[in-house]
Chain A
């Protein structure tokens, strides 16, 4: 403090700074040091956060990207009319009687023939070992393709058939010759054959859209499992949640902010809304199970029920965000509207709400974004079920059809024993993250678009 007191030569004053501006006073030094310290804490915190994010993204991408690629056999197949269309009348009803077993034979025989043509062979390998390399899912896909387009009968088409999950794992390095020694699902000769097929260009890793579009598959066919049903389920749910929460949330917030009398009862409501926002989501799942399924009799596993549960769960968050953005509208705007004779209602709908809209939308989308990853309550209402049929379209009652949801799919794949499903689980996380990024970016864009200054 000595630097503050005047030196004998200085002007006789008791307060204020004396001394040259060119030298830093000790007090100034410690103030600057404190500032620099605080800034480095902040930077350190941000670096830790970014590093965690980077590590998380890196592991997910490393484990998950391979789920989007699938080892695929490409070879010509003659769609033999004698097998797939015995009547020869190209009658769809007649052709539908042919089962996948016949198609499996067609695929297997064509592969053996193609390998023979190319002169690829492995010592001591039985034909069954060769045909077993083809995924159990491939015949069904070929059958669907032929039934959808009967003109293929009699033609030779190039088929892209998945190989089984073990060979795929071998190509992705998940499975080695050593680790497969005791595996009854794969033989060393099949691995030799796979090496030769790769060399000949018959077997390749291809981008696999059906991972995103196909429904889930059983434990035996990891290569066929896809996210389709879960994705549709999640999109249906988010759509319904948006439709439910926005009007209810906005109406409740407007009432509480602008119209409700300020008394102990509204205080109680306020406290309860904050409490509800903090209630663990699993509790909402139990509530949904009791009310929507057991009491109201809605079907389990339905996106509608999932949406209702998530609506209950996100409403408090959305109401809190909406009220905050309504409160942020300057009171002078309300005065201005009331001052020219607008009614309370007109004031709110002409002035307050448009100004609060960017905040409301951002709050809602962020609420949805956090709800989209919610798993617990969905498990309780049965959305973890193994669903292989797509739900119907939204107008055909699809909201009541059984479906899964992305986070639940992640959970159920991660809990299966085959490592091929673990990879798919990470792939599903990538899809979930992409959805989240889309939602958050649209929140920012909406905010920019509607933002007004006053």
Chain B
């Protein structure tokens, strides 16, 4: 039914664990949104989170860079280790964490500044460059990584909000990539895009895998099958099944997973 990239199967088993989550629980006030999630996210791998709407995919994703800290009612418990370090440790500054764990949001949200400034913002505030030339370099490589360079190289000073939706989203990816993160989180990055832009972003995700660990939330099972090597299926706040993408789509172990991928749970 879905074709999965067989060739990557071997490399998955070789990469090491980038993020290890153990017993993660999230409450929004009274609401128990995420229940006891254990998961190992591998380096240099695309991991897809799928599941019906409201099952906690975004919630879990936002735990990984502590964006839930900005939600006053959210309480997170459990343990999330990035390269063996607990990111919820008191000594960890979430601001520093977010430079390492970048995020791309559902709706393209470029700053209302120039294309150049959008990409240069992260490196600037983190003091990653010493000279203008170095910054130019980072902007160029980031835009190239986001497959946007050729389209915007002549108009870097134009405002980022003037680009098309697909270009805006790739600009956001370039902005996230510019701080040289180790993990890139993407929350339904294609849901506001047309099919052509979606295809471009998907291609991009596959390339980003060579440098980062990519975690993508998607509501499209085809997309999960196309871009990911590992897939996690969430349902009602539980992580139901986590396995190689091919296994999830061809041979799911849990009946709930099977119902979902065959379209019986929506």
Which residues in A have some Cβ–Cβ distance to B below 8 Å?
261-262, 330, 332-343, 346, 350-351, 355, 452-454
Interface centre among A332, A336, A453, A454 (most CB of B within 10 A): A336
In the complex, A332 Cα to B121 Cα: how many Å?
Answer: 16
Chain A residues with Cβ below 8 Å from B70 are 334-335, 338
Chain A residue at minimal CB-CB distance from B162: A453
Chain A residues with Cβ below 8 Å from B252 are none
In the complex, A452 Cα to B114 Cα: how many Å?
Answer: 12
Q: Are B109 and A355 in contact (CB under 8 A)?
A: no
Chain B residues with Cβ below 8 Å from A333 are 109, 111-112
In the complex, A449 Cα to B175 Cα: how many Å?
Answer: 27
Chain A residues with Cβ below 8 Å from B111 are 333, 336-337, 351
In the complex, A350 Cα to B110 Cα: how many Å?
Answer: 13
Chain A residues with Cβ below 8 Å from B161 are 453-454
In the complex, A132 Cα to B110 Cα: how many Å?
Answer: 77
List 7 A-B pairs, Cβ < 8 Å: A262-B72, A333-B109, A339-B98, A341-B98, A341-B179, A350-B125, A452-B112
Chain A residues with Cβ below 8 Å from B112 are 333, 355, 452-454
In the complex, A453 Cα to B99 Cα: how many Å?
Answer: 27
Chain B residues with Cβ below 8 Å from A341 are 95-99, 122, 125-126, 179
Q: How far is the CB of B197 from chain A (nearest CB, A)?
A: 18
Chain B residue at minimal CB-CB distance from A454: B112
B65 within 8 A of A: yes
B107 within 8 A of A: yes
In the complex, A261 Cα to B72 Cα: how many Å?
Answer: 8
In the complex, A330 Cα to B98 Cα: how many Å?
Answer: 20
Q: Are A335 and B122 in contact (CB under 8 A)?
A: no
Please count the residue pairs between chain A and chain B whose beta carbons lie under 8 angstroms apart in the complex: 68
Q: Are A340 and B109 in contact (CB under 8 A)?
A: no
Known contacts: A335-B67, A351-B111. The answer to whether A340 contacts B105 by CB under 8 A is no
Q: How far is the CB of A346 from chain B (nearest CB, A)?
A: 6
In the complex, A330 Cα to B105 Cα: how many Å?
Answer: 14
* Residue from B65, B109, B126 in contact with A336 in the complex, judged by beta carbons closer than 8 Å: B109
Chain B residues with Cβ below 8 Å from A343 are 95
Q: Are B122 and A338 in contact (CB under 8 A)?
A: no
Number of interface residues of B (CB under 8 A): 29
Q: How far is the CB of A362 from chain B (nearest CB, A)?
A: 18
Q: How far is the CB of A112 from chain B (nearest CB, A)?
A: 75
Chain B residues with Cβ below 8 Å from A261 are 72
Chain A residues with Cβ below 8 Å from B232 are none
> Would you list the 7 A-B pairs with minimal beta carbon distance, nearest first?
A341-B99, A332-B109, A341-B98, A340-B122, A339-B103, A336-B109, A454-B112
Chain A residues with Cβ below 8 Å from B98 are 338-341
In the complex, A341 Cα to B65 Cα: how many Å?
Answer: 10
Q: How far is the CB of B22 from chain A (nearest CB, A)?
A: 25
Chain A residues with Cβ below 8 Å from B102 are 339-340
Q: Are B172 and A336 in contact (CB under 8 A)?
A: yes
Q: Are A339 and B65 in contact (CB under 8 A)?
A: yes
In the complex, A339 Cα to B99 Cα: how many Å?
Answer: 8
In the complex, A453 Cα to B111 Cα: how many Å?
Answer: 10
Q: Are A340 and B99 in contact (CB under 8 A)?
A: yes
- Residues 39-81 of B, flagged 1 when their CB comes within 8 A of A and 0 if not, give 0000000000000000000000000010100101000000000
B176 within 8 A of A: yes
Q: How far is the CB of A426 from chain B (nearest CB, A)?
A: 47
Interface centre among B70, B102, B104, B159 (most CB of A within 10 A): B70
In the complex, A453 Cα to B97 Cα: how many Å?
Answer: 30
Q: Are B121 and A340 in contact (CB under 8 A)?
A: yes
Chain A residue at minimal CB-CB distance from B72: A262
Chain B residues with Cβ below 8 Å from A338 are 67, 70, 98
In the complex, A343 Cα to B121 Cα: how many Å?
Answer: 12
Chain A residues with Cβ below 8 Å from B125 are 340-342, 346, 350
Chain B residues with Cβ below 8 Å from A262 are 72
Chain A residues with Cβ below 8 Å from B104 are 339
Chain B residues with Cβ below 8 Å from A337 are 111, 121
In the complex, A184 Cα to B28 Cα: how many Å?
Answer: 86
Q: Are A332 and B107 in contact (CB under 8 A)?
A: yes
In the complex, A13 Cα to B173 Cα: how many Å?
Answer: 51
Chain B residues with Cβ below 8 Å from A453 are 112, 161
Chain A residues with Cβ below 8 Å from B176 are 339-340
With A333-B109, A339-B67, A341-B125 known, 9 other A-B pairs at CB within 8 A are A332-B105, A335-B70, A335-B105, A340-B102, A341-B98, A341-B179, A452-B159, A453-B161, A454-B112
Q: How far is the CB of B165 from chain A (nearest CB, A)?
A: 13
Chain B residues with Cβ below 8 Å from A335 are 67, 70, 103, 105, 109
Chain A residues with Cβ below 8 Å from B175 are 336, 340
Which residues of chain B (143-193) have a CB below 8 Å from chain A?
159, 161, 172, 175-176, 178-179
In the complex, A188 Cα to B11 Cα: how many Å?
Answer: 115
Q: How far is the CB of A115 from chain B (nearest CB, A)?
A: 73
Which residues of chain B (88-133) have a CB below 8 Å from chain A?
95-99, 102-105, 107, 109-112, 121-122, 125-126
Chain A residue at minimal CB-CB distance from B161: A454
Q: How far is the CB of A43 from chain B (nearest CB, A)?
A: 37
Interface centre among A337, A338, A350, A351 (most CB of B within 10 A): A338
Interface centre among B97, B98, B126, B159 (most CB of A within 10 A): B98
Chain A residues with Cβ below 8 Å from B67 are 335, 338-339
In the complex, A262 Cα to B72 Cα: how many Å?
Answer: 8
In the complex, A452 Cα to B109 Cα: how many Å?
Answer: 14
In the complex, A453 Cα to B161 Cα: how many Å?
Answer: 8
In the complex, A403 Cα to B233 Cα: how many Å?
Answer: 75
* Residue from A334, A336, A342 in contact with B110 in the complex, judged by beta carbons closer than 8 Å: A336
Q: How far is the CB of A332 from chain B (nearest CB, A)?
A: 4
Chain B residues with Cβ below 8 Å from A452 are 112, 159
Chain A residues with Cβ below 8 Å from B179 are 340-341
In the complex, A351 Cα to B118 Cα: how many Å?
Answer: 11
In the complex, A262 Cα to B73 Cα: how many Å?
Answer: 10
Chain A residues with Cβ below 8 Å from B122 are 340-341
In the complex, A13 Cα to B68 Cα: how many Å?
Answer: 51
In the complex, A262 Cα to B29 Cα: how many Å?
Answer: 14
In the complex, A335 Cα to B98 Cα: how many Å?
Answer: 11
In the complex, A335 Cα to B105 Cα: how many Å?
Answer: 8
Chain A residue at minimal CB-CB distance from B105: A335
Q: How far is the CB of A270 from chain B (nearest CB, A)?
A: 16
